[in-house]
Structure 1
């Protein structure tokens, strides 16, 4: 019998949810810092390879069973491409040309793409009126954040924004791939092993690609760059995945989706405070619309409003 969705979050789950949002929000700042000295592919290769090493160390420490089925390892490779190699590379390249806060806002479209792709692929994920309204609100937010003038000019700025949106689309495809392929091949597999496997698959793609196109890294980076690379690998990838599954177990998938709403404000504030970034009003308005779309997709706030009793009529 399926467990009913969790609607309340404990104080501990809230704390870890906020911590996860802060970690992922900080990744956009760290990406921008690395780009001052490290190439795009090399930066992403450091991130996925370092995170894979940390997660495999965790798997060994916990003595979790490691699968041997070659079909599952092929699934890890596919998941690594869709959930790590492709979106990490697109976001990192995009941040060369747009502010980190704007990249975080556009990355919020992941939730919108995820719902739309699931509705197209799975028969039990139908796009009813409420979810359709949430998707339309979300896309209106994306269009507002991007700005129609930017798309009309179609320069590096607009291409970078489209790259980040393509990353969000890739994340949405990864969610469908995980449900349709990985869960079918190994329904009881530890999520930590899955995370380690997909990051290994991403590293198998990115490390050779980085070496072939950008050459061997010099490693003569300053302290800030090394700190940013370490943050991306250890905190924003390895630790974030471990924390993600802890919050999932404590609060459920519906509550965990709230992290998508919280990442962008963290990234916007950090970009302003550390890098001096300022976003145009239309970008902030776009985030507001995108957030409204996510709230409608979630549905719980609307259900609470619908259940709220009407105030008693006053006698005249």
Structure 2
């Protein structure tokens, strides 16, 4: 039994999600011209949480009351927002936005591997193993084997982005184990709030009080990646997931890098080495293998 067939409307929503997330890499890099990485993350989580909570309340969704889900949201915020957002924002200061988006696609590969190691119902089959190996080969080629040994700012920035994708993978497992009983929108708003509470003292210590006297371009970039690429994207993601299934939603990972690469070239005059494109091709092949033949979860 294969994943649900995508309707024209689902394809349009999936493409829109890819465009939105693809544009977020340029928006984040633009904001980093004026604000530090940790401050950029605080703006992202706090603004997105402030947008999602009124929607949660208007829909009358049940809120967590006991300590267990609250602790779960705190850990989820750390794994899904604080760690990956911070690592990737820092990494983007030293590598092109297009390359960041390519390395970010590795999150789906790590997700399969970590799930196989920690979840009993996610065995690492031959097909999954082939997909994971192709994905990892793509990441190594995109970074460059010699670059991995250099340990300069460029290589460290690329490794930081890859480490962020590993954190996403652990977040996926944590969500399945600890947040299964919460409505998805409540989980999103809760973890973003928890992330903001974690980020605020870090920003005050590392960056100082956030400056509000920023250029219109910077505020526009912040508004895009916080309101559109985080809050709105969560709403759209859950809608697509409901109609398309998790196997088809993985396709969005393949749509993001071309958007980010194109925007980086047009707006920031970025260029990527040929190995980056070869690495993405291998990574895309791995993701295609991983997404093929996925069975929809029974509900």
TM-score (norm 1): 0.91
CA deviations over 1:162-217 (Å, ceiling 9, x no partner): 0000000000110011112212xx2xx21101100010111110012111211112
The 8 Å contact of residues 2 and 293 in structure 2, kept in 1 or not, is answered as no
RMSD: 1.2
Once residues 251 and 218 of structure 1 are traced to their aligned partners in structure 2, the CA distance between those partners, rounded to angstroms, is 41
Deviations 1:127-173 (A, max 9, x none): 11111011110000000000012112110000000000000000011
**Equivalent pair of 1:47/1:232 in contact (CA under 8 Å):** yes
Point out the more displaced range, 205-214 or 27-36: 205-214
Q: Give the total of aligned pairs.
A: 294
Partner of 1:253: 246
Partner of 1:274: 267
Query: Is it true that 1:103 corresponds to 2:100 in the alignment?
Result: yes
| Matching of residues 50-61 of structure 1 within 5 Å | 50-61=47-58
Q: How far, CA to CA, are the matches of 1:110 and 1:6 in structure 2?
A: 20
CA distance, structure 2, for counterparts of residue 218 and residue 135 of structure 1: 42
Range with bigger deviation, 59-68 or 223-232: 59-68
Deviation of residue 267 (structure 1)? 0.7
Of 14, 17, 20 in structure 2, the residue corresponding to residue 20 of structure 1 is: 17
Contact persistence 2:148–2:155 (CA under 8 A): yes
1:64 aligns with 2:55: no
- Which residue of structure 1 lines up, in the alignment, with residue 87 of structure 2? 90
Alignment equivalent of 2:76, drawn from 76, 79, 85: 79
- Number of the residue aligned with 2:258: 265
Question: What is the match of residue 38 of structure 2?
Answer: 41
Long gaps (5+) in structure 1: 302-316
Q: Check whether the contact 1:5–1:252 (CA below 8 A) recurs between aligned residues.
A: no
Aligned to 2:297: none
Alignment-derived partner of residue 240 in structure 1: 233
Secondary structure of the equivalent of 2:179?
A: helix
Q: After superposition, what is the alpha-carbon deviation per residue over 1:217-267, rounded to whole angstroms, capped at 9, x for unaligned?
A: 221111110001111110111100000000011111111111111111111
Q: Tell me whether 1:121 sits opposite 2:114 in the alignment.
A: no
Q: Where does 1:143-182 land on structure 2 (aligned, <5 Å)?
A: 143-182=140-179
Alignment partners' CA distance in 2, 1:218 and 1:117: 38
Structure 2: gaps spanning 5 or more residues: 295-299
SS of 1:123's partner is: coil
SS in 2 for 1:67: coil
Ranges of 4+ aligned residues in structure 1 off by more than 2 Å:
4-7
Larger Rg: 1
Q: Equivalents in 2 of 1:169, 1:216: separation in Å?
A: 30
- Counterpart contact for 2:3–2:293, Cα < 8 Å: no
Deviates more, 1:156-165 or 1:65-74: 65-74
2:139 to 126, 139, 142: 142
Distance in 2, matches of 1:218 and 1:132, equals 47
Inter-partner Cα distance in structure 2 for 1:131 and 1:215: 45
Structural mapping, 1:158-237, within 5 Å: 158-183=155-180, 186=181, 189-237=182-230
